[in-house]
Amino acid sequence: MLAFILRRLAQALFVIAAMLVIVFFGVNVVGDPIYMLISPEMDQQQIAETARQLGLDRPIWEQFLVFLKNAVQGDLGRSFVHGESAIKLILSRMPATLELAFVALFMAIVIGLPLGLYAGLKPESRLSRFIMAVSILGFSLPTFWVGLMLILTFAVGLGWLPATGRGPTVSIFGLETSLLTLKGWQHVALPALNLALLKISLVIRLARAGAREAALMDYVKFARAKGLSQSRIIGVHILKNIMIPIVTVLGLEFGSLVAFSVVTETIFAWPGMGRLLLEAITRLDRPVIVAYVMVVVVLFVAINLLVDMVYSALDPRVRLTEATS
Amino acid sequence: MTTITKSIAAAKAAALAAPLVLLAGATGAQELKIGLSAELSSLDPHYHNLTPNNMLARHIYEPLVGQDEKQALKPLLAESWKAIDDTTWEFKLRKNVKFHDGTPFTADDVIATMQRAPNVPKSPSSFSAYVRGKEFTKVDDFTVRVKTATPAPLVPTDLSTFGIIPAKCKDTTTEDFNLGKCTTGGTGAYKQAEYVAGDRVVLTPNESYWGGKEPWSKVTFRMITSAPTRVAALLAGDLDVIENVPTSDVARLKGDAKLSVASTVSNRVIYFHMDHFREVSPFIKGKDGSEIKNPLRNLKVRQALSMAINRPGIVDRIMEKEAIPAGQLLPDGFFGTSKKLKPVAFDLNGAKKLLAEAGYPNGFKMKLHGPINRYLNDTKIIEAVAQMFSRLGIETEVETLPAANFFTRASQGGQGNVPEFSFILVGWGAGTGESSDSLKALLATFDPAKGMGATNRGRYSNPTFDAKVDEALRTVDDAKRDAALAEAMDISMNDVGLIPTHYQLNTWASRKGVKVQARTDEYTLATGIRKD
């Protein structure tokens, strides 16, 4: 187990280093941030002065060396726009995004799993066909459009839920969360549902396919012959076995929920790190873009590791030690 | 655990109190919620010269000189000002003004501000250009003199761009300003209550404001960059006021009995800049694809292009009437505009004739460039204009780029850091509210040493025009300067230095019962929002 983790960490460090180089030079070919930052009314002297202050007048390789030197010490630079540490800026927005992603993931499981299981166990029923038909919509409708429709329906039309923003936050163990108040849940419901829609469909499909396959397996037949109750057969024997692919996929999907909630956050004016990224891209705030990508890389690496470990817990046939040999 | 219990209790209390809040809402909402279209980067009034920053800061820290809704200068912290001679201005400060914590406002605060404003570390766009070359001296507690080396008519305008902070906060860092650690506060009508970066700014009224108390118990500015969301949030009742209403929604919101819409012409002109400086322009070719001499250097060609643009058509069809055809760089009535200039009338045959006279009876090939989503409907406008040019016989292609990319290339993308493109769509908002701003930046000969023509992306250069602008910038007398600027405007527009198409309208929508004062500078100020 330890050897496996160490090996994974070494791989991860290589990925991170490679990304650092690619991203840094990638964002540097896009354009000169000075024109996005400076007030258009400023004269040439002022433009040159600001470029000098931000270190933009130096050649690119020199900027990279400075960046690398700081990066080794864990400093990914200061945001051009906000003047604060890019990492700090991202971390300060992260709780909001994590909150949204967790609720979305929760929705995906709570809604997707029972529906998928039902569709898998009773594939011929009308309800199952309906569930599957609707799940196609979840895959194919664009997020921004669904988001606007949700706002129009539940906020503008029915007036049940607020259209935008995050609810009041409460501090718990040093973490700010809005999930402890009713208002907070009202605010998170629509954006989380919007973010979860694709994942719900995914879970429905995975659970259905898994359940259909598992229902025909010998151990299920045997369990049934033994006279076990239906709920035990479904709840223990089938569910536990179909969970393996679902956990793998959801683990990876959680990463993408956190990293790419940009559209949902923008539509619902959710103050998370996705909006920060969008803002950084439009204003060419290079340090924030680079730091964001690095945070995402680290996040994905960590999630992959975690998924592998959960995997082994769920499926006794998978032994992590074997993977290293 | 106790935190959880407490917060649950708080939630319950909030739920119980909800009907009371609704009741308060019914009897004349005290709280004002505003949806902004762009994010601010800081609450430090001197950190970043950026519209959302300046606009928010204005509520808390007032400048010496104010700008009214049409950007005419008006007294604010300075009661009056006058030029003693060509190089000296004297400002008389308002007496009995207090900062939020009760500290009296004096000349010392002005001096301290002038030291801080140009020198904020890591500023992405500082205010130093407005302070540079000015020497500030305190005459007495309520008189400040400004000395300049050369005649400087724009001193009052320059000092209207940033707020005065208390001398006590002159060493406060930007981060501490964001955290509200300048506890002395400003002199403004509102106090900083809460700032969540990228999300909201909450202000509370200054009970002892010298200009009288504000009608709102609390003002929340929420940053909602997605335009349809902003509109939906207003319709859902989450917000009372939104700025920057998308043109496609204006008609619908105007028709809604529960809403009102306020709009006024903007100081922002949308225009085409073209290559005046190259013998051969990179994106212009002959009809057969061969290299030809740059036709844009011929006045008749420029006139023909301007005549071929159907301005009323653009305003009606693309801007859905939320714009006004433009004949110069600022709308009529602004300081330094010409009374003689009218929008060039659409005349396709006349344009064809001019083009033939210029030696291009069969036209040529040209590629237009423009930014995406930088100005209202920018891509649609440039596509429409390309079609209008095609009708003239000029085979026109269009390429639009993300703003970050576009502006870098348009400013310095060519060989030797010169502007890269031949013909571009851009916009310009005159922050100072007078035409010297636009003329100096867009049309004066590019000259880094003198700070002229910084945004002259066509490198237009006309000595007669330059001399007129120079003269205006040295004329302290307002009436004479106004006349000189108008004359400079005439010269450059008759020479088609650039081709203006339209002025945007700034539009706000609000809940019925809330009245917004529309401003030319795109500022959304709570001090201009009243109960109806």
pLDDT at position B174 is 92
Return the residue of A nearest to B412 by Cα. Answer: A32
Interface predicted TM-score (ipTM): 0.84
CB contact under 8 A, B124 and A182: no
Neighbours of B415 (CB within 10 A): 7
Is the minimum CB–CB distance between B128 and chain A shorter than 8 Å? yes
Return the residue of A nearest to B174 by Cα. Answer: A83
Instruction: Measure the CA–CA gap between B85 and B97, rounded to whole angstroms.
Output: 28
Return the residue of B nearest to A85 by Cα. Answer: B175
pLDDT at position B426 is 95
Nearest to B126 among A41, A50, A162 (CB): A50
* Helix (H) or strand (E) segment spanning residue B222: strand B218-223
Question: Sorting pLDDT into bands at 50, 70 and 90, what band is A312?
Answer: low
Residue whose token pair is 């714009």: B323
Is residue B210 classed exposed, middle or buried when 0-12, 13-18 and 19+ CB atoms within 10 A define those classes? middle
Q: Which two tokens stand for residue A115?
A: 């529906």
Among B57, B47, B429, CA closest to B244: B429
Q: What is the average pLDDT value for chain A, to the nearest integer?
A: 84
User: Is it the case that residue A219 has pLDDT exceeding 90?
Assistant: no
Instruction: Measure the CA–CA gap between A45 and B278, rounded to whole angstroms.
Output: 24
Return the residue of B nearest to A47 by Cα. Answer: B125
Q: Annotate B9-44 with b (16+ C-beta within 10 A) or e (fewer).
A: eebeeeeeeeeeeeeeeeeebeebbbbbbbbbbbbb
Residue to mutate among A30, A34, A39, with most B CBs inside 10 A, is: A39
User: Is it the case that residue A319 has pLDDT exceeding 70?
Assistant: no
Q: Looking at chain B from residue 209 to 238, which residues have their Cβ under 8 Å from any Cβ of chain A?
A: 222-226, 228-229, 232-233, 235-238
Is the minimum CB–CB distance between A316 and chain B shorter than 8 Å? no
Lowest-confidence pick of A169-183, A205-219, B231-245: A169-183
pLDDT at position A320 is 53
Residue to mutate among A29, A42, A49, A154, with most B CBs inside 10 A, is: A42
Q: Which two tokens stand for residue B321?
A: 């009437």
Is the minimum CB–CB distance between B42 and chain A shorter than 8 Å? yes
Nearest to B125 among A44, A50, A93 (CB): A50
pLDDT at position B18 is 43
Instruction: Measure the CA–CA gap between B153 and B483, rounded to whole angstroms.
Output: 14
The arithmetic mean of pLDDT across residues A263-272, rounded, is: 90
Is the minimum CB–CB distance between A175 and chain B shorter than 8 Å? no
User: Is it the case that residue A140 has pLDDT exceeding 80?
Assistant: yes
CA angle A254–A259–A263, rounded 5-degree value: 105
Residue to mutate among B408, B436, B450, B473, with most A CBs inside 10 A, is: B408
HSE on the CB side for A215, CA within 13 Å?
16
CB contact under 8 A, B403 and A47: no
Among B503, B143, B465, B458, CA closest to B311: B503
pLDDT at position B23 is 41
Q: Are B37 and B227 in contact (CB under 8 A)?
A: yes
Which residues touch B53 (CB under 8 Å, ≥6 apart)?
Answer: B40, B41, B42, B43, B45, B47
Q: Looking at chain B from residue 380 to 439, which residues have their Cβ under 8 Å from any Cβ of chain A?
A: 402-409, 411-412, 428-429, 431-432, 437
CA distances from residue A43 to A227, A279, B296, B416, B448 in whole angstroms, order as listed: 85, 25, 26, 19, 8
Is the minimum CB–CB distance between A31 and chain B shorter than 8 Å? yes
Residues of B in contact with A83 (CB under 8 A): 41-42, 47, 121-124, 174-175
Lowest-confidence pick of A13-17, A147-151, A320-324, B79-83: A320-324
> Over its length of 532 residues, how does chain B's per-residue pLDDT go in tens digits?
344 444 444 444 444 444 444 444 444 448 999 999 999 999 999 999 999 999 999 999 999 999 999 999 999 999 999 999 999 999 999 999 999 999 999 999 999 999 999 999 889 999 998 998 999 999 999 999 999 999 999 999 999 999 999 999 999 999 999 999 999 999 999 999 999 888 899 999 999 999 998 999 999 999 999 899 999 999 998 999 999 999 889 999 999 999 999 999 999 999 999 999 999 999 999 989 899 999 999 999 999 999 999 999 999 999 999 999 999 999 998 999 999 999 999 999 999 999 999 999 999 999 999 999 889 899 999 999 999 999 999 999 999 998 888 999 999 888 888 999 999 999 999 988 899 999 999 999 999 998 899 999 999 999 999 999 999 999 999 999 999 999 999 999 999 999 999 999 999 999 999 999 999 999 999 999 998 8
Nearest to A45 among B235, B411, B448 (CB): B448
pLDDT at position A316 is 66
Distance from CA of B28 to the nearest CA of A (A): 21
Rg (CA), chain A: 24
Is the minimum CB–CB distance between A245 and chain B shorter than 8 Å? no
Percentage of chain A surpassing pLDDT 70? 95
CB contact under 8 A, B225 and A275: yes
pLDDT at position B22 is 42
CB contact under 8 A, A163 and B233: yes
CB contact under 8 A, B411 and A35: yes
pLDDT at position B155 is 94
Is the minimum CB–CB distance between A43 and chain B shorter than 8 Å? yes
Instruction: Give the pLDDT confidence of A85-121 residue by residue, as tens digits.
Output: 899 899 888 889 999 999 999 999 999 888 988 888 8
Sign of the Cα pseudo-torsion (B33, B34, B40, B43, in order): negative
For residue A5, how far is the Cα from the chain centroid?
23
Q: Which two tokens stand for residue B118?
A: 């140009």
Neighbours of B392 (CB within 10 A): 20
Residues of A in contact with B125 (CB under 8 A): 37-39, 42, 46, 50
Name the CA dihedral angle for B171, B174, B176, B180, rounded to a multiple of 10 degrees. 110
Neighbours of B311 (CB within 10 A): 21
User: Is it the case that residue A318 has pLDDT exceeding 80?
Assistant: no
Print the SS3 string covering A158-222.
Answer: CCCCCCCCCCCCEEECCEEECCCCHHHHHHHHHHHHHHHHHHHHHHHHHHHHHHHHHHCCHHHHH
Instruction: Measure the CA–CA gap between B380 and B377, rounded to whole angstroms.
Output: 5
Among A268, A103, A149, A176, CA closest to B196: A176
Is residue A151 classed exposed, middle or buried when 0-12, 13-18 and 19+ CB atoms within 10 A define those classes? buried
Which residues touch B75 (CB under 8 Å, ≥6 apart)?
Answer: B65, B66, B94
Q: Are A243 and A251 in contact (CB under 8 A)?
A: no
pLDDT at position A1 is 64
Long-range contacts of B316-320 (CB under 8 A, 24+ apart): B317/B384, B318/B377, B318/B380, B318/B381, B318/B384, B319/B247, B319/B376, B319/B377, B319/B381, B319/B502, B319/B504, B320/B247, B320/B248, B320/B250, B320/B251
User: Is it the case that residue A264 has pLDDT exceeding 70?
Assistant: yes
Is the minimum CB–CB distance between A26 and chain B shorter than 8 Å? no
